[in-house]
Structure 1
């Protein structure tokens, strides 16, 4: 238990250091050595926890998801609830624009898909095959990508309704 606490503390230190450095300079100018120095950890500590800098941000997004997912357990799971959850999470996620500017949104979407794909499958009709589910999830990613590209102007709840409506239209055909 002590080891898990130490790992989590190290990850938090690394995340906070990275966020601090992102305020001071461009992402491409930040080295892992700088992150380690700012965090007060050894470079090998970073490599033990993260393969690349974007993984530091993905770590925090995954943490937000896990906390928010616990809140979802109290609600009846529905397509709209999952879409609202998805857009709120992305809206609140740190440095989402960084993922967009560095063409790493797909990595973010892949992380989301890994985390909540079983939830998505529970709200889709059981007659949906894996290919159709992949099509639907790719459509969600495309809509989300466009929303981010356009500056996330629409509120998350509106985007959730739009996405859920589009999915339900496809399913009713």
Structure 2
């Protein structure tokens, strides 16, 4: 896990290390990158790296969390946005960070996406207040949504990366309708 304090120095060092890993990913596969590579690229000391992160996977997790925070910030910038808008913003942000997303998927660490989104679930709850869902159901709904969004990103990476965010959204809507139909109809009858 990472151990980044709220002070400016820790935040700056974490960003330098995060940016350095991203630069290294442009040249090497994740499993070929060493902490020394990241440390040298970032210009930070080895002790600084280990004060903030236990390993390189922690840096991936930190990067994922930062993307989710940016998504929430971008969404909150504008009034009267819908959940449809949120989905498009969500997909756009991850497409902009395609190399990171690809690395997470290649490393078989989709848990990073799931945990980063789920860690921010309380911030996401404000988007669902109009649904009037009980707290216990809301937690299940957020778990379901988190799994779906993680799977959608993984599918986009694994299969061609050609769809626009709008096309991805349409595919998800169609799959949701199909899923609902399957859940409400008994296919064995």
Report TM bin, short chain: 0.7 to 0.9
In the TM superposition, residue 17 of structure 1 has moved relative to its aligned partner by: 2.5
Over aligned residues, Cα RMSD in angstroms? Answer: 3.0
The 1:120/1:142 distance shift into structure 2, 3 A limit, reads: farther
1:141-164 deviations in Å (ceiling 9; x for gaps):
323321221132110122123324
Relative contact order (C-alpha < 8 Å, sep 6+): which is higher? 1
Which stretch has the larger CA shift, 35-44 or 117-126?
Answer: 117-126
Gaps of 5+ in 2: 1-5, 185-189
TM-score by length of 2: 0.72
Q: Is the 8 A contact 2:114 2:147 kept in 1?
A: no
Which residue in the other structure is 1:52 paired with?
55
For the 8 Å contact 2:19–2:42, the answer to whether it is kept is yes
Equivalent in the alignment of 1:26: 29
Alpha-carbon offset, residue 87 of structure 1: 0.9
Change over 3 Å in CA distance of 1:161–1:79 after alignment to 2: farther
2:104 alignment counterpart: 99
Distance 2:149 2:83 in 1: 11
Structure-to-structure mapping, 1:61-72, within 5 angstroms? 61-72=64-75
With normalisation by structure 1, the TM-score equals 0.78
Task: Check whether the contact 2:114–2:146 (CA below 8 A) recurs between aligned residues.
Answer: no
Cα distance change, pair 89–35 in 1 and its aligned pair in 2 (3 A)? same
Q: Which residue of 2 aligns with 1:6?
A: 9
Q: Provide the secondary structure at the position in 1 that maps to 2:26.
A: helix
Alignment deviations for residues 62-102 of structure 1 (CA, whole Å, 9 cap, x no partner): 33333342231123243212211221121112421111111
Q: Deviations over 1:76-135 (max 9, x none)?
A: 243212211221121112421111111012212221232245425633722461335433
1:19-58 per-residue CA deviation (whole Å, 9 max, x = no partner) reads: 3333333322222133223322222211222232133233
Q: 130, 140, 156: which one pairs with 1:147?
A: 156
> Alignment length, in residue pairs?
171
Is 2:128 the counterpart of 1:125?
no
**Is this contact kept in 1: 2:83–2:127, CA < 8 A?**
no
